[in-house]
Amino acid sequence: MTMIKGVAASNGIALAKAYKLVMPDLTVTKETVEDVEKEVQVYKDAVASTAKELAVIKEAASKNLSEEEAAVFDAHAQILADPEMETQVVDKITNEKVNAAAALEEVSNTFIMIFESMDDEYFKERAADVKDVSRRLLANLLGKPLPNPALIDSEVVIIADDLTPSDTAQLNKNLVKGFATNIGGRTSHSAIMARSLEIPAVVACKTITEDVQEGDFIILDGINGDVIINPDEDTIKEYEVKRDEYIAYKEELKQLVNEKTISTDGHQVELVANIGGAGDLPGVIENGGEGVGLFRTEFLYMESADLPTEERQFEVYKEILEAMEGKPVVVRTLDIGGDKKIEAIDLPDEMNPFLGVRAVRLCFQREDIFRTQLRALLRASVYGNLRIMFPMIATVQEFRKAKGILLEEKDKLVAEGIPVSDDFQVGIMIEIPAAAVLADVLAKEVDFFSIGTNDLIQYTFAADRMSSGVAYLYQPFNPSILRLVRNVINAAHAEGKWAGMCGEMAGEPLAGPLLLGLGLDEFSMSATSILAQRKLIRSLSKAEMEELANKCCDCATMDEVVALVKEASGQ
């Protein structure tokens, strides 16, 4: 039994077998073979088992993914069945007496080079397909089959270096009971997705992919950030009890689903949810969300290899606005870049993508994409209570420019006779320190602020949110952050505007007392955190928390703040 300490990224406890989503080493050594006929057969057997594998993946993918995504595996099966490649590999084995793996590597590299050198986009994409197929085939030849979430057919805990947002989107929640990764932090997007999928996750375990062997039995404690490998019977029993207690606690919280979030001295705040798409809405309603405080629209752009059309976007925005029945829905315009990449947009290769062409900066470079999204949003505005939010605003000019483009598109739609609402709000995320400091000026021009602490903390501390080496600098309770948050809230209120928070901090139990005290109006978080935060805030006095928050802003360290909050709120 071994215990690994990581960062708790999504609550809950899972007990299941490990499934390693780790790419094996596929280095090939060229060898001379005597029995070429046998080697040709080895190759043909590997082709056959690869074809079977692709069929299984296709089958699973058509249940979990869109038709277009699943169709990729048909294309792969066709490439595998293409006689041209097979003939060349067989010739090479026979004429040069080389092993099948080396023959395949040489032949496929030639195919890839030819496709890549063509000017046509279609053939360039085929190069990527050939690369994928030959890697899978090579892996089978070397006896190290590639892992794939679609091949999972029993309950597992996934062990990986990291999971990309699109990996996470493909996970089948019924079988994947949780995941543990080498890298990442509480605010990496895989962690955020785990919380919306309601599966436990532990990240930043450093060497978990080496510590765990395929099939090891794993206990994943997403509450404390622990991973236990091959536990003894007593430990398994202990954690089964903890898991059941956690499930019971979640059930008890459900009593608060239809309650308001009012402090003991009568101050009401709104608790709303962060979502990645319409699929998250049932979770928002079940968990008592009073609206949507952040719709991360970039997930809409990850659905396929092409950009979503205006029509497709319009349908999604309309569906969400209608489903929320007049409750506020804050839709954030495209925030691609950083750790979020999409196939349809070629992002420049930058040394520091989180500091580069990201979010609204990218939208200014690709106004075509931006305008399409804004048109879709404006058209949907008549179906509910829409609030449009621009991410990564650093300067007043950026806000004016983004709003200017929005109003141009509005005028065009009105001229075309298309109905657009007259009372949607336009606000910004405060996630860059420059904007937090200048909040009093920005507050005169915007309708609202939503504080994005995930980025605000990484930029304030100059600590990459993806780097486990500097994870200790993710300090939401450092007085520096509290002062910035206080400045933003006060600036909004001075102009009669509202201030929300949609960074992960809004859902942290220790942040509840502080944010209530600082006067935050709207708390937006993973839907699964809402009820616990509601229970907590309903037990606190706003006046007392105001005093506490001001005291905390004068502290020297995060540890001092945490100690004061624990004492004052009984946590």
**Do the beta carbons of residue 450 and residue 502 sit within 8 Å?**
yes
The option from ligand PEP, Mg ion, none interacting with 222 (CB < 5 to 8 A, set by class) reads none
CB of 547 to ligand PEP, least distance (A): 27
Mapped onto helix, strand or coil, the DSSP state of residue 210 is: helix
Among 189, 363, 552, 553, the active-site one is: 189
Of 209 and 453, the one with the shorter C-beta distance to ligand PEP is 453
Of 290 and 455, the one with the shorter C-beta distance to Mg ion is 455
CB of 169 to Mg ion, least distance (A): 18
Of 115 and 390, the one with the shorter C-beta distance to Mg ion is 390
Among 363, 502, 552, 553, the active-site one is: 502
Pattern 405-434, binding to Mg ion, x per CB under 5 A? --------------------------x---
Of 12 and 452, the one with the shorter C-beta distance to Mg ion is 452
Strands, E assignment, 303-420: 328-332, 385-390
Task: Show the DSSP H helices in 12-120 as ranges.
Answer: 36-64, 67-81, 83-96, 100-117
CB of 390 to Mg ion, least distance (A): 11
What residues have CB less than 8 Å from 418, skipping those under 6 apart? Answer: 379
CB of 187 to ligand PEP, least distance (A): 6
The option from ligand PEP, Mg ion, none interacting with 503 (CB < 5 to 8 A, set by class) reads ligand PEP
363 annotated active-site: no
| Residues at the contact surface with ligand PEP, assessed by CB under 6 A | 187, 294, 296, 335, 431, 452-455, 502-503
**Do the beta carbons of residue 235 and residue 228 sit within 8 Å?**
yes
455 binds Mg ion (CB under 5 A): yes
Of 452 and 479, the one with the shorter C-beta distance to Mg ion is 452
- Phi first, then psi, for residue 526 (nearest 5°) are -55, 135
Q: Which two tokens stand for residue 150?
A: 């679609």
Mapped onto helix, strand or coil, the DSSP state of residue 140 is: helix
Q: How far apart are CA 553 and CA 541, in angstroms?
A: 18
The option from Mg ion, ligand PEP, none interacting with 453 (CB < 5 to 8 A, set by class) reads ligand PEP
Three-point CA angle 116, 121, 127, nearest 5°: 35
502 annotated active-site: yes
The option from Mg ion, ligand PEP, none interacting with 296 (CB < 5 to 8 A, set by class) reads ligand PEP
What residues have CB less than 8 Å from 544, skipping those under 6 apart? Answer: 517, 568
CB of 356 to Mg ion, least distance (A): 14
**Do the beta carbons of residue 360 and residue 393 sit within 8 Å?**
yes
Q: With 0-12 CB in 10 A as exposed, 13-18 as middle and 19+ as buried, what is 524? A: buried
452 binds Mg ion (CB under 5 A): yes
Residues that bind Mg ion (CB under 5 A): 431, 452, 455
Active site residues: 189, 502
